[in-house]
Amino acid sequence: MDWFFKNFLIVFLSVFINFELLANEKIKVVTTFTIISDITKNITGDAADVVSITKPGAEIHGYQPTPKDLVKAYDADLIFWNGMNLELWFEQFFSGLNDDILSIIVSEGIDNINIKSGDYLGKPNPHAWMGLNEALIYIDNIVNALSKYDNKNAELYSKNAYQYKQKIISTIEPLKKKILNIPLKHRWLVTCEGAFSYLARDLSLQELYIWPMNADEVGTPKQIKNVIDKIAENEIPTIFCESTVTQTPAKQIAKETGINFGGILYVDSLSDKNGPVPTYLDLLRSTYETVEKGLNYSK
């Protein structure tokens, strides 16, 4: 083999091998919190690497990113975030990353419910993934973004997404029916953060909360008094509280009013894999079941 041909072959082979490697390389998706991460994993299966910046159990509104989080995200292809004023830390974090990473707001196109009090008055309530139609929109947005970026797996993504949507609907519908059978006067959802506007709408529940957003002041005497007064005016059986915040004000209200403390609702964060809600589907199931049990409570 002459010198020229040998070198030509080496260059050709190495370009070919690199091309093959690139073609087989998985895309990397980084998400701001565990729920978006789990939804995405259900769509990608093993076809992509998916990681969440905030860990299971974390408070996600006012999170303080660490240098490790920057390392986690620096080689991402796509970053999925909720937007709607949820991740107050995200834009600054994103500005510290590589310019060619695409940032996608997965709540795009949602018909938002606005916040009724506090510092975020009139702004969209960001917890839209707790509404059933909205959850399906999140899935569509995620599939579209993945398929555009990683076209070779588009068919797989849309097949997985279809099955996942069916699973969510068939899990939620029977639980929803049970709650819609509870007498109207008991259908109050009293929580710590006002994170359940979309869920309350789906279940025809009246919403009452101690504070409107975790990013606001939480558990002030005025907020507590407002909830105690409303409990006294109505036949409210139970108060609940979310997993990522202090339970103290809710327990204090339960004690002062004599109503039931109905336990923990999961909304902003999954638990780790040994906890009660390692997946988004578990989170929905657990929250629906806890609400149903709490509202059917009688002394």
**Binding positions for Zn ion, rule: CB under 5 A:** 195, 214, 268
Query: Toward Zn ion, which CB reaches closer, 62 or 275?
Result: 62
How many CB atoms sit inside 10 A of residue 161's CB?
Answer: 22
Burial letters 116-146, b for 16+ CB under 10 A, else e: eebebeeebbbbbbbbbebbebbbebbbbbb
- Residue 74 beta carbon to Zn ion: minimum distance, rounded to whole angstroms: 27
- Residue 27 beta carbon to Zn ion: minimum distance, rounded to whole angstroms: 28
Dump strand ranges (E) for the chain: 27-31, 48-52, 78-81, 102-105, 188-193, 206-211, 238-242, 260-265
Query: Toward Zn ion, which CB reaches closer, 77 or 87?
Result: 87
Residue whose C-beta lies closest to Zn ion: 268
Query: Toward Zn ion, which CB reaches closer, 77 or 207?
Result: 207
- Residue 64 beta carbon to Zn ion: minimum distance, rounded to whole angstroms: 16
CA angle at residue 293 from 128 to 259, to 5 degrees? Answer: 95
- Residue 61 beta carbon to Zn ion: minimum distance, rounded to whole angstroms: 6
- Residue 199 beta carbon to Zn ion: minimum distance, rounded to whole angstroms: 12
Closest Cα partner for 102 from 55, 158, 141?
A: 141
Q: Are 116 and 200 in contact (CB under 8 A)?
A: no
Query: Toward Zn ion, which CB reaches closer, 75 or 217?
Result: 217
Query: Toward Zn ion, which CB reaches closer, 77 or 268?
Result: 268
